[in-house]
Amino acid sequence: MDWQKYASKYENELMNSVVPFWEKNCVDREYGGYFTSLDRDGSVYDTTKYMWMQWRIVYMFSELYLAGYTKESYVDIAEKGFDFLYRHGRDEAGRYYFALNREGVPAMAPYSLFSDCFAAMGGAKLYRITGKQLYADAAVEAMNNYLERAKSGNSALQWNKSLAGKTPYLSLGHYMMMANLGLIMNECLNSNEFDSAMDTAIDMVLNKFYSPEFGLVFENMPVNSGKPDLDSSIGRQMNPGHVLEAMWFLLNYLEGLPGSGDKVQAISKIIANTLDFGWDKEFGGIFYFMDALGKPHLELQHDMKLWWVHNEATLACLHAYKATGDKHFADWFAKVDEYTWSHFPDPEYGEWFAYCNRRGEVTHSLKGGKWKTFFHVPRGLLFAAQLLKSFK
């Protein structure tokens, strides 16, 4: 396999298609922050500023600079975004709102702990490239808020809609991000303060969310049970993209750690099982949501093919191949790569489409919105190119 040819393809797409699209179109030069609701051609169709999407842009431009693409404009974009979000985005307890209006007035309550998650990521990376203490302090504040809420069992706090009759679940997403966040925080702040968070995340993913019976990782696990809840749709829900993303986070953290061989093998096996389980044998691509028992799914978009799922699958394949040398993962990489590149990139306007139906037909023209921003595509391209360059 010509790994360097793949590396060139990924890097070229990153620097000549995806980054220029966002650098040109995302910056709100009048009020600050970013436009993320971008149509196919980069035009703005909604000016709401969703906090997840905003902080991910701070993170990604900082990550590019750190990776050696040292354009000063990247630092400027990230710093001005931080300034807007830090000034306007927090409530009196330091928690980040879910959304602001264009001018920076809070538009949606801080019910989602992932607003704090991505604020920590963005602040930490920005500190790493600038050394400005404010960014580090903001990152630690957001990280501590995230950890506290993730462990509470009621991460939505007073905005939780659930009542006594609803089974309480733990969410895989909270713990997979804990592993990634802990590593980013420690690396950027030159600290080991968050080692315990990463260890907790690995233990929870492999020992709480993983089901030996199914050989798979579930999205939601009952708080007070060691087994999946197979009597409800939410309990049977599988999210292959989340699992693959979580697994490469864990492999990235475990790389080079003494005594991690057994965990690496277990994680690699989960990646292999998830790829096989999640792949659409009829139309190709990886399903968005699945039911562990093959029963009807409550999510009507469950059989769609999403951009980010395939970005994360690509990285999972490459990390597993790097960790094991097993050709099985190289073959899976080629399979995922072929589907991804034949469905999502937009050769006319640049950047990538986000949503295809099960048959692989593009359903939405948007390049960014409430859930898509300058994050999964550039991160996937950047990290894949770095991994591919290291292969012989």
Between the alpha carbon of residue 88 and those of residues 123, 145, 152, 219, 220, the distances in Å are 15, 17, 26, 33, 33
pLDDT at 156: 73
- Kind and range of the H or E run holding 118: helix 114-130
Structure tokens, 295: 């029963």
List beta partners, residue 362: 356
- Give the start-end residues of each E strand in the chain: 37-38, 44-46, 49-50, 99-100, 106-108, 169-171, 210-211, 216-217, 220-222, 237-238, 290-291, 305-306, 355-356
Structure tokens, 333: 């990489």
pLDDT at 154: 64
Specify the amino acid at residue 276: D
Enumerate residues 6+ apart whose C-beta is below 8 A from 294. none
Query: Dmax of the chain from CA atoms?
Result: 56
**DSSP label of 350:** S
Reported as a single tens digit per residue, the pLDDT across 95-114 is 999 999 999 999 999 999 99
Q: Which residues of the chain have pLDDT under 50?
A: none
Please give the domain boundaries of the chain with CATH numbers for all domains: 1-26+169-392 (1.50.10.10), 27-153 (1.50.10.20)
Identify the CA nearest to 214 among candidates 130, 294, 104, 327: 294
- Kind and range of the H or E run holding 87: helix 72-88
pTM, whole model, 2 decimals? 0.97
Token pair 């019976």: residue: 213
Residue burial 6-31, b: 16+ Cβ < 10 Å; e: rest? bbebbbebbbebbbebbbebbbbeee
